[in-house]
Amino acid sequence: MLEHFRPDRLALREALRGLRHTVHTGGQMVFDRLSSTSTERTPDLPGRHLLCDVENTAARLEAIGSDTMRFLLCEHTPSSRSMQALYELGFEDRQFARVVYDNLRLFLQQLGIGHAIVSELAARQAHGRLPANLLDLPEHEAAALIAFSLVDAGVIREGPVGLKSLRSKEADLAIAALLFWLLSNRAPEEDDQARLAAADMALAVEDEIVAALRERDKAALSALFEELAPHV
Amino acid sequence: MSERSNSRRIWPSTNEPLRRAVRRLHWFRTAFTSYTQEMEKRIGVECDVDEKKLAAIFIAWLRAVNAQKPSSAKARSAYFDFAASLMLRELIANMPLKARTTPQLVDENSAAAFWPEGYICTLFCLAVHDAVVKQEFNAPLPQRPPIDNIRSWWSFRENSREDSRFAAGFLQRLMGHEPNWAMPDIFTMPADDR
């Protein structure tokens, strides 16, 4: 039987990421609850031992979880690509999904929704929904279509993969910031500074981004990318 | 004028000409923050910088500059001056600095002590302008009027509180031009260049 068992590696990675998220948030919740109880009244000695044990266990779980996941998932330094580089590599679905996963997470943290998670699987599905002539379009128009597709595929999730997608102002801004960053013309050493700038740029024009995504206004969104991406 | 010309200015490194680099948010923000730090040391003040405001200021400035960009190459030099004055308008309208202390290293009747935030923003615009112009035109900068007249700064602060366009006229005056006070933020080609 096992020789026929060939799981989709990306689906497996998604499941493991969900597990890591659960271990991390679950351990944190238990620890927070016990910690807050202990401030209300001084715990007795057995209580303090219990807190200490939970703290150590949570830390071990997190360490083991993170190390194992990192090993299994072959996680690495976030991939840095520009839209141009993705095009030159044939705009292949796995690379696209990886770039979205690696970098959208960072934008979510910058925009204050670090608890949300990014589905690499959904990013690959978003790629599959893009029109066949995408590479023939000007980059800023293609970027608008990619933004809509990422939103539609629910690439940003509220909890472990499989739970509902997160649709919020911040999630919309994170997707727009990712595209500002991908479209920007930057040297490799400017990646991090440009990432911060792209997030703040999205915040500065948040009303325009949210309206364009809500109304699915391709012309408005692509005009915004064309106008501002060269200035990240 | 010594504040501008004698200081050692280290702008963020870039492979692009400064006129392009300044039109990138990440460069603009790093430059503003570094410049503010330098001025903090020089006048003995501590300031908070609101980076979110800086992004909004940058975009407002970029849009204002693009909206009036003249087609004639003859207007290029004059438009660089004008663009700097629009930058000051946006900085004053949405002030990104907040001084936490009183300047300790300057005379209490100086412009820097009177309004440290406005002073730093103004000198930043002049310094960026000078660096860009020097690189683009490779010519000495013209002599300018003194910038420490406290009455001018009082007028600048009071008037720009009511109408931020006044800041554009103030900077044009510091650069030696006679602004159109009715519409200081509307570009008009200098008579010599027409």
B60-83 per-position pLDDT tens digit: 999 999 999 999 888 999 999 999
pTM of the model: 0.82
ipTM of the complex, rounded to two decimals: 0.90
**Distance separating alpha carbons of residues A149 and A131, to the nearest angstrom:** 10
**Distance separating alpha carbons of residues A85 and B125, to the nearest angstrom:** 36
- Inter-chain residue contact B24 with A187, CB threshold 8 Å: no
- Per-residue confidence band for B35, with pLDDT thresholds at 50, 70 and 90: very high
Q: How far is CA B106 from CA B6, B70, B152, in A?
A: 16, 41, 18
Q: Does B183 touch chain A (CB under 8 A)?
A: no
CB atoms within 10 A of CB B149: 12
- Per-residue confidence band for B189, with pLDDT thresholds at 50, 70 and 90: confident
Reading the block at residue B27, the tokens are: 């460069």
Q: Does A45 touch chain B (CB under 8 A)?
A: no
User: Which residues in chain B are closer than 8 Å to A183, comparing Cβ atoms?
Assistant: none
- Inter-chain residue contact B26 with A204, CB threshold 8 Å: no
- Which of A187, A190, A203 is the closest to B55 by Cβ? A203
User: Which residues in chain B are closer than 8 Å to A197, comparing Cβ atoms?
Assistant: 24-26, 29, 55
- Inter-chain residue contact A190 with B51, CB threshold 8 Å: no
Residue ranges of A 161-190 with Cβ closer than 8 A to chain B: 187, 190
Mutation site, A173, A196, A200, interface B, largest B CB count within 10 A: A200
Residue A60, Cβ density class (10 Å: 0-12 exposed, 13-18 middle, ≥19 buried): exposed
Tens-digit pLDDT profile for residues A180-189: 999 999 888 8
| Chain A residue closest in CA terms to B63 | A227
Residue ranges of A 121-160 with Cβ closer than 8 A to chain B: none
Q: Does A204 touch chain B (CB under 8 A)?
A: yes
Tens-digit pLDDT profile for residues A119-134: 999 999 999 999 999 9
Q: How far is CA B164 from CA A29, B61, B81, B153, B157, in A?
A: 50, 13, 17, 14, 9
Specify the pairing of strand A156-157 against strand B97-99.
unpaired
